[in-house]
Amino acid sequence: MSGTSEGPAPAEDLGRPAVTERGAEADPPHSSRPSSAHAAFAAAPLAMAVVDRKGFVRSANEAFAALFGGDPGALAGQAAAELVDLASDTRTWHAYRDVLRGRQARLRCTRRLKHPDGHSVWVQITVAPLPDADGGGAVLLSVRDISVRRELQARLRHLQMHDPVTRLPNRTLFFERLSGALDPGPYEEGGAGRIGLCYLDLDGFKAVNDTLGHRVGDRLLAAVAERLTRCADEAGYARAATPLVARLGGDEFALLVEDSTGTEQLADLAESVLKAVQEPFDLSGQRLSVSASIGVVERRTSETTATGLMQAADTTLYWAKADGKARWTLFDPERNAHRMTRQALSSTLRPAVDRGEFALEYQPLVGMEDGELHGVEALVRWHHPQFGTLTPNRFIGLAEEDGSIVQLGRWVLRTACRQARQWQLEHPGVEPVFVSVNVAVRQVWDSDLVADVADILAETGLAPRLLQLELTESAVMGSAGRPLQALQALSDMGVRIAIDDFGTGYSNLAYLSRLPVSVLKLDGSFVRGFRYDGGTHPNPADEVIVEALVQLAHRLGLTVTAECVETSGQATRLRRIGCDTGQGWLYSRPVTPDRISELLAGTGT
Ligand code: C2E
Ligand code: MG
Ligand code: MG
């Protein structure tokens, strides 16, 4: 019947015996044993009590009684479970009951007991049956004072969890607290809380260590720790919790705000820390000025993990350093996404050409006088399996950095030439359109561009005059030796060279005229500069410059293409100034080859 009862219920017969029973059991134990054994029990330094099967103390020794500030006789008949607090947790209570009933061999647990004089002791309690012959079915309860051991353990834990130089919590304790804060207990409501972190690194601490020695370095760290603690105390004033200040290693510190109210609170904290650290330090006569860089991250606890938070903090601290140090920077998801995609992109760039993830779009180049389609510029797109369609600004730079531009550029050239030839064959009645292909500097330097072009023209059957190569000003400026020879060879072959984005670099027309260049593509910023001041008058300065440029270009035998023509107003003025060709949304956005086919079909007979 009692076996079915659940939970700590010391109400049953294990706790409060009938008076008669207590009286009957109050004799000392082992009354039949020689008195020397009895004396040994009574005087043993280990606190012991014999407890009957119902849970009442039959007899206790001096040491046991001392724990409770009384004499052994007074303890007899008391419920042992109450004396040593065995009923406060269910598991121990059940185990204790099982030992009393002979169903379990032994119970061991740790308890903190309060001595009547006020001090508390940590004890280890063991309950084990006495041999039947000796105990008459009783159990022996022994209580070992482990306060000293506990104290040592606690001190050891403190040592393991704190940094000896600054006395701050160390990395281990910091992560313990962080995980605790992110992992709401079963009774707490998860998801409502926010957490914030200031991750700080001293600027130029290594120099202090190297020039003034480690002792000064250590003193500086301790002084910084003090200031951080002060900032945390001030921030925690009148709030439920004070931010935890920890030294994560070297000259890295963290301030953890476990009950953040939002980024503003973290920004205030970071600002105060920055100021506090910048105040000069007086280290036993040495005056030292340092600064700190701080990465600030603030999030909902339900949306972050310890690793995620630390990674974000690390990245943000890096930004703070990269942006010029002595500042705090707030985590910016967009900046982070950019960094991640840059990494992800560069690792998938090389194989992407083989996997056929690139495609070309073509943007019409239209005659300003006749409004007809003369050519198209090939613009590469990357249909990335994860990131969707990417424009060249996202990956051409990366491809140049890692050299994969050579392979990619060759693919672009071949695809564009093949396409131009195909249009020509499909629309025999129409004046063939030329294709303009962008060429990166590295393609000129790192590959045999001339041989590639010759091979591809031969392979596709495209006439050289229907191919134009676009190079940027900076790619051809100062070119001598190989690039110049390459340009010359291409020009001799009949391929046209255009200077892309003209006007953004040196704009040295006189120099350009000595190179085998035949087209200038006026950068979009010029055309965009044709804005109306106050909505009525065009900006005459821009127009004068562009007009002069176009006239000079014409005198040098170059034709001019205007990029980024978006409005008919711009087109009218560009035409008046003398631009030969226009490219831009006014005419068409970059489109698929099929769309160009349709345009060609429309202009044909
Ligand atoms: P770009 O050669 O100056 O190409 C013109 C860029 O301006 C294209 O951007 C085009 O879409 C955009 N554009 C055209 N008309 C307008 C307009 O009216 N308004 C505005 N706002 N923009 C206009 P896209 O396709 O993003 O290409 C960017 C750059 O990437 C190109 O600038 C070129 O330098 C480079 N690029 C593109 N394809 C290749 C390639 O196959 N190889 C190499 N090396 N670079 C390429
Ligand atoms: Mg271009
Ligand atoms: Mg351009």
CB 363 within 8 A of CB 593: no
Instruction: State which ligand 1 atom lies nearest to the alpha carbon of 501.
Output: 3
Statement: residue 1 has pLDDT above 80: no
Ligand number with the minimum distance to the CA of 378:
1
Ligand number with the minimum distance to the CA of 470:
2
CB 221 within 8 A of CB 192: no
pLDDT bin (cut points 50, 70, 90) of residue 525 is confident
Distance 363 CA to ligand 2 centre (A): 10
Query: pLDDT at position 345, please?
Result: 85
Q: What is the DSSP string of 184-251?
A: --TTSPTTS-EEEEEEEEEETHHHHHHHH-HHHHHHHHHHHHHHHHHHHHHHHTTSS-PPEEEEEETT
Identity of residue 169: P
Task: Give the mean pLDDT of 173-177.
Answer: 95
Estimate the crossing angle of helix 392-402 against helix 405-426, to 10 degrees: 130
Query: pLDDT at position 604, please?
Result: 46
User: Torsion-angle region of residue 44: left (phi > 0), alpha (psi -120 to 50) or beta?
Assistant: beta
Distance 34 CA to ligand 1 centre (A): 106
The percentage of the chain sitting over the pLDDT mark of 70, rounded to a whole number, equals 87
> Whose CA is closest to 273, among 307, 309, 320?
320
Cα gap 435→467, rounded to integer Å: 5
Beta bridge partners of 253: 200, 247
For the chain, the average pLDDT equals: 87
> Residue of the nearest CA to atom 37 in ligand 1?
379
Among 379, 527, 570, residue to substitute to test ligand 1 (most atoms within 8 Å of Cβ): 379
Task: Give the mean pLDDT of 208-219.
Answer: 89
Beta bridge partners of 297: 197
Distance 569 CA to ligand 3 centre (A): 20
Instruction: For ligand 1, say whether the CB of 201 is within 6 Å of any of its atoms.
Output: no
Task: Give the mean pLDDT of 520-539.
Answer: 70
Instruction: State which ligand 1 atom lies nearest to the alpha carbon of 566.
Output: 18
Backbone angles phi, psi at 533, to 5 degrees: -75, 125
Query: pLDDT at position 10, please?
Result: 43
Instruction: For ligand 1, say whether the CB of 312 is within 6 Å of any of its atoms.
Output: no
Cα gap 222→220, rounded to integer Å: 5
Query: pLDDT at position 192, please?
Result: 60
Give the CA count within 13 Å in the CB-facing half-sphere of 520. Answer: 31
The CATH number that domain 2-151 falls under is 3.30.450.20
Q: Which two tokens stand for residue 109?
A: 């647990």
CA 525 to chain centre: 36
Instruction: State which ligand 1 atom lies nearest to the alpha carbon of 590.
Output: 11
Identity of residue 459: E
Query: pLDDT at position 481, please?
Result: 62
pLDDT digits (tens, 9 = 90+) for 292-315: 999 999 999 988 999 999 999 999
> Residue of the nearest CA to atom 11 in ligand 1?
590
CB 542 within 8 A of CB 529: yes
Instruction: For ligand 1, say whether the CB of 419 is within 6 Å of any of its atoms.
Output: no
Distance 563 CA to ligand 1 centre (A): 9
User: 344-601: same fold as 162-331?
Assistant: no
Instruction: For ligand 1, say whether the CB of 525 is within 6 Å of any of its atoms.
Output: no
Q: What is the DSSP string of 314-329?
A: HHHHHHHHHTTSSSEE
> Residue of the nearest CA to atom 46 in ligand 1?
438
Statement: residue 17 has pLDDT above 50: no
Could you list which residues have their CB under 5 Å from ion ligand 2? 438, 470, 500
> Residue of the nearest CA to atom 35 in ligand 1?
392
Instruction: For ligand 1, say whether the CB of 389 is within 6 Å of any of its atoms.
Output: no
Query: pLDDT at position 342, please?
Result: 79
What superfamily does domain 344-601 belong to in CATH?
A: EAL domain (3.20.20.450)
pLDDT digits (tens, 9 = 90+) for 546-573: 888 899 889 889 999 999 999 999 999 9
Helix ranges, 427-539 (H): 441-446, 449-460, 473-476, 481-493, 509-512, 524-528
| pLDDT top residue among 123 and 524 | 123
> Residue of the nearest CA to atom 41 in ligand 1?
380
Cα gap 46→7, rounded to integer Å: 30
pLDDT bin (cut points 50, 70, 90) of residue 9 is very low
For residue 333, the 8-state DSSP code is: H
| pLDDT top residue among 216 and 604 | 216
Instruction: For ligand 1, say whether the CB of 412 is within 6 Å of any of its atoms.
Output: yes
Statement: residue 139 has pLDDT above 50: yes
> Residue of the nearest CA to atom 4 in ligand 1?
379
CB 393 within 8 A of CB 342: no
Among 353, 360, 396, residue to substitute to test ligand 1 (most atoms within 8 Å of Cβ): 396
Query: pLDDT at position 36, please?
Result: 84
Query: pLDDT at position 179, please?
Result: 93
Q: Which two tokens stand for residue 267?
A: 């920004």
Domains of the chain, residue spans: 2-151, 162-331, 344-601
pLDDT digits (tens, 9 = 90+) for 187-211: 555 446 899 999 999 998 988 888 8
Lowest mean pLDDT among 109-113, 450-454, 476-480: 476-480
Instruction: State which ligand 1 atom lies nearest to the alpha carbon of 523.
Output: 3
- The SS3 call for residue 171 is helix
Lowest mean pLDDT among 41-50, 151-160, 369-378: 151-160
Distance 438 CA to ligand 1 centre (A): 9
Instruction: For ligand 1, say whether the CB of 363 is within 6 Å of any of its atoms.
Output: yes
| pLDDT top residue among 525 and 535 | 525
Query: pLDDT at position 20, please?
Result: 34
Spell out the CATH class of 162-331: alpha beta
Distance 340 CA to ligand 3 centre (A): 28
Distance 564 CA to ligand 3 centre (A): 8
Statement: residue 605 has pLDDT above 90: no
Identity of residue 277: V
Give the CA count within 13 Å in the CB-facing half-sphere of 453. Answer: 27
Statement: residue 534 has pLDDT above 70: no
Query: pLDDT at position 23, please?
Result: 35
Task: State which H helix or E strand residue 501 sits in.
Answer: strand 496-502
The percentage of the chain sitting over the pLDDT mark of 90, rounded to a whole number, equals 59
Task: Give the mean pLDDT of 523-548.
Answer: 69
